[in-house]
Amino acid sequence: MTVLQFVARRLALTIPLLLGIIFITFMLIRIGGQDAVGMLTSPLASKQEVDAIRASLGLDRPLLEQFAIYIGNVLQGDLGNSWQSKQPVLGEILRRLPASIELLFLSIILGAAIGIPIGLRAAMRPNGLFDQVSRFVSLIGFSVPTYWMALMALFVFYLGLRWTPPPMGRISIAAFPPKPVTGSYFLDSLFAGDWSAASSAGHYLILPVAVFSLIVAAPIIKQTRAIAIEILNSDYVRLARLYGFRPQTIRRLTLRNAFTPIATYIGSELATLLAAVSLVELVFSWGGLGQWGLNAILFGDFAAVQGYVLTLAIFATTIYLLVDVAVLVLEPRSAISK
């Protein structure tokens, strides 16, 4: 099976999955008791006026028909308009996505840099002291809610020590945001050569990235440990030991073979993490996709909620596909077992 065939087959499987997710959210938010038309109109509006608005939004038609119309629009790149901002949902999403991605990727890089070495070290001597301690620490990481950790970090490092800027967005209000290229204030200011803006954006990144990378590191420690232990107990490592290879060589061999499963694991967690990052955004008023999505859910902004869910679903399926293709290219033998 060539890579292209593989991608085509996976894409064909992805489409029903996406449709399923859209369908479920579409129906659930409409069947629910929340009536968004009631929020849009003045409490004094007459029954006829409310019905007129309902009809203009197409909400008086049967649910399945509404769904068909929505899918037709989505295929033409029209995700509808947000009822809160009156702006097209697609534009709102694209404007906010880079801020979330910036936070997510920096945290994952840092989290992996913390988690992978700890996991490998723990695997070298299972149930040793280092393993016990790291296992306990990673369980704490599993147990601390993201938003609470963010609040506590703010209290200590902003209010107490004054090391970090206030939780008000991504750059100081005194600084001019750079011209958008990548969407990351930090990178864009660097490209524009605006050092003061870059420094401000960098300072605003520190605390949210630090908090989220610790949340990300906990499951990475656990997975790396499990993967490395499996490899250390494999026949080829036993053979390498039998041949009398030095411990450094065995460690290198383990790392080399652990890389693909660890990368696959992190890839498979990306969508969940993109959803989880919204809680960090909420506490730091980050203004990214996640904060916007949570707000849309709270206010029953149908089109925005569907746009948010659809973005997460597309993101998740794309990442899965990329990870699988990468594995296929890196380790062609994995195709045989599929």
Partner 1 sequence: MTTAFVQTRQPRGLVLAWAMLVGLTRRSPTFVLGTAIVLVFAALAALAPWLTDYRPTQTFPDHVLSGPSAQFWFGTDGNGMDVFSRVIHGSQYAFGIAIPALLLMMVIGVPAGLIAGYRGGAIDDLLLRTFDVLRAFPTIVLALAVVAATGQSIVIVVLVIGFLEAPIFARIVRSEVLALRSSELVEAAVAVGNSTWRVMLVHVLPNSIRGATAQMAIRMAWAIRVSTTLAFIGVGIQAPAPEWGVMIRQGAEYINSGEWWIATFPGVALVGLVLGLNLFGDGAQDLLDPKHSDSR
Residues near partner 1 (CB under 8 A): 17, 20-21, 24-25, 28-34, 126-127, 132, 135-136, 139-140, 142-145, 147-148, 151-152, 154-155, 159, 166-167, 225-226, 229-230, 233, 268, 271-272, 274-276, 279, 282-283, 293-294, 297-298, 300, 305, 308-309, 312-313, 316-317, 320
In the complex, what is the shortest distance from the CB of residue 79 to partner 1, in angstroms, rounded to a whole number?
Answer: 16
Cα(190)–Cα(200) distance, integer angstroms: 11
Q: In 3D, which of 301, 291, 251, 282 has the Cα closest to residue 88? A: 301
For partner 1, which is the closer residue by CB, 179 or 238? 238
In the complex, what is the shortest distance from the CB of residue 185 to partner 1, in angstroms, rounded to a whole number?
Answer: 22
For partner 1, which is the closer residue by CB, 6 or 191? 6
Amino acid, single-letter form, for residue 261: P
Confirm if 114 and 215 have CB atoms less than 8 A apart: no
Confirm if 136 and 325 have CB atoms less than 8 A apart: no
For partner 1, which is the closer residue by CB, 115 or 178? 115
For partner 1, which is the closer residue by CB, 186 or 284? 284
- DSSP label at residue 180: P
In the complex, what is the shortest distance from the CB of residue 239 to partner 1, in angstroms, rounded to a whole number?
Answer: 19
Cα(50)–Cα(203) distance, integer angstroms: 48
For partner 1, which is the closer residue by CB, 19 or 55? 19
Confirm if 267 and 320 have CB atoms less than 8 A apart: yes
In the complex, what is the shortest distance from the CB of residue 184 to partner 1, in angstroms, rounded to a whole number?
Answer: 23
Which residues contact residue 94 at a Cβ distance below 8 angstroms, ignoring those fewer than 6 apart?
none
Neighbours of 305 (CB within 10 A): 23
- Look up tokens 């659930």; give the residue: 28
For partner 1, which is the closer residue by CB, 186 or 292? 292
In the complex, what is the shortest distance from the CB of residue 148 to partner 1, in angstroms, rounded to a whole number?
Answer: 4
Amino acid, single-letter form, for residue 165: P
In the complex, what is the shortest distance from the CB of residue 280 to partner 1, in angstroms, rounded to a whole number?
Answer: 12
- DSSP label at residue 120: H
